[in-house]
Structure 1
Amino acid sequence: MAQTAGVKPMTIAGRVASERERCIGMTDAERAWRKQWLQDQVLASNEPVHVEEYWRERTNPIRRLYRKPLDVLYNKLAPVLGQQRAADYRYIAGKIGLFTVGVLCIHYYFKYHGNDWTKKGGWRITKTKPMVLPGQPGFPFKSERSKDSDYADRGFSKSVFTK
């Protein structure tokens, strides 16, 4: 959904937002309004204000749960390193954590759910024949498979049934 929920955004600066309009001429009321508008653009020293209850109402419990460990780390590092550097470390630690979980999930899948003779599904990993040209060591290429029954084996020859 768009940030304005489908309604065209409207500027609150009014007609005097552009310099050309201000040069044409402004009334005293417009000058006072513009002066107040410029003063309102200056942030106070304590802004932006983080209101915990507002943040809690706007975020769902699952998001708060998975963000909690890094929030604790951020809150411990912020007084020591500063707000921005602690936020950078929190961001980097989160990305490294997601990358690590992804690598571990891929490793688990290929270790325990690969394609072999016991199941129909799973990704089959095959090695292609290496390119060995005349004059290179190992020419002519000889396969590691010793007999014809080794070609569509899919791990069956290593099972307990063939012993």
Structure 2
Amino acid sequence: MAQTAGVKPMSIAGRVALERERCLGMTDTERAWRKQWLKDQILAPNEPVHVEEYWRERTNFFRRIYRAPLDKLFAALTPMLGASRAADYRYLTGKFALIGFGILCGHYYFKYNGNDWTKKGGWRVHVSKPMVLPGQPGFPFQSNKQPSDYADRGFKNAKI
């Protein structure tokens, strides 16, 4: 659900949110309203309050399951690190773990699902010829491939 539940967001500060507007002049009613509004912006010492039941109702069961290991680990580390630093480290640890898992999955896929003559799918890797400029050894570049080597896809090396 959207943060505003489909309703266009509006500023509760009103006309007096900008200093320029306040300098144009404020009525006594606006001054009283602004004073109350500024007082309301001060949080109580115990805020924000974490209500476990509210969090449990708002989060998906599967999300709570996959978050549990890191939550337990960083709950034990919170007294040593502090709440803010532990939350930051927990966030970064989770993201790095997901990135590492993605890299391992990509490595596995590219290693075992290459495109060769036995399969229709998979990633096909083309190696371009090296760049050899005038004055460098091997200029002009001459390929060692025979005409039968092109579009081979590993068929010549197959043990049939």
Q: Same fold (TM over 0.5)?
A: yes
Q: How far apart, CA to CA, are the structure 2 residues paired with 1:36 and 1:121?
A: 67
Q: Is the 8 A contact 1:70 1:94 kept in 2?
A: yes
- For residues 75-86 of structure 1, what are the structure 2 equivalents within 5 Å? 75-86=75-86
- For residues 22-33 of structure 1, what are the structure 2 equivalents within 5 Å? 23-26=26-29, 31=32
Q: Identify the residue that residue 149 of structure 1 maps to in structure 2.
A: 148
Q: Would the alpha carbon gap of residues 76 and 15 (structure 1) be closer, same or farther in structure 2, given more than 3 Å must change?
A: same
Q: How far apart, CA to CA, are the structure 2 residues paired with 1:112 and 1:23?
A: 72
Provide structure 2 residue ranges, at least 5 long, that are not aligned to the other structure.
Answer: none
- Counterpart secondary structure, 1:91: helix
Task: Percent identity, please.
Answer: 67
Q: How far apart, CA to CA, are the structure 2 residues paired with 1:81 and 1:158?
A: 57
Q: Is the 8 A contact 1:115 1:124 kept in 2?
A: yes
The structural deviation recorded for 1:34 is 6.1
Post-superposition Cα deviations, 1:34-83, rounded to whole Å, max 9, x if no partner, equal 66554443212111011111001001111112212221222122110111
The structural deviation recorded for 1:158 is 2.3
Q: Identify the residue that residue 158 of structure 2 maps to in structure 1.
A: 159
Q: Would the alpha carbon gap of residues 157 and 54 (structure 1) be closer, same or farther in structure 2, given more than 3 Å must change?
A: same
Q: How far apart, CA to CA, are the structure 1 residues paired with 2:139 and 2:12?
A: 78
Moved over 6 A (4+): 14-18
Q: Is the 8 A contact 1:15 1:21 kept in 2?
A: no
Q: Is the 8 A contact 1:134 1:140 kept in 2?
A: yes
Post-superposition Cα deviations, 1:90-149, rounded to whole Å, max 9, x if no partner, equal 12111211111111111111111111010111110010011223321223434343x433
Provide structure 1 residue ranges, at least 5 long, that are not aligned to the other structure.
Answer: none
Q: Identify the residue that residue 61 of structure 1 maps to in structure 2.
A: 61
Residues paired across the two proteins, number: 157
TM-score of the superposed pair, with normalisation by structure 2:
0.80
The one-letter amino acid of 2:87's match is A
Q: Identify the residue that residue 92 of structure 1 maps to in structure 2.
A: 92
Q: How far apart, CA to CA, are the structure 1 residues paired with 2:143 and 2:45?
A: 74
Q: Would the alpha carbon gap of residues 37 and 122 (structure 1) be closer, same or farther in structure 2, given more than 3 Å must change?
A: same
TM-score of the superposed pair, with normalisation by structure 1:
0.79
Question: Which stretch shows the higher mean deviation, 63-72 or 122-131?
Answer: 63-72
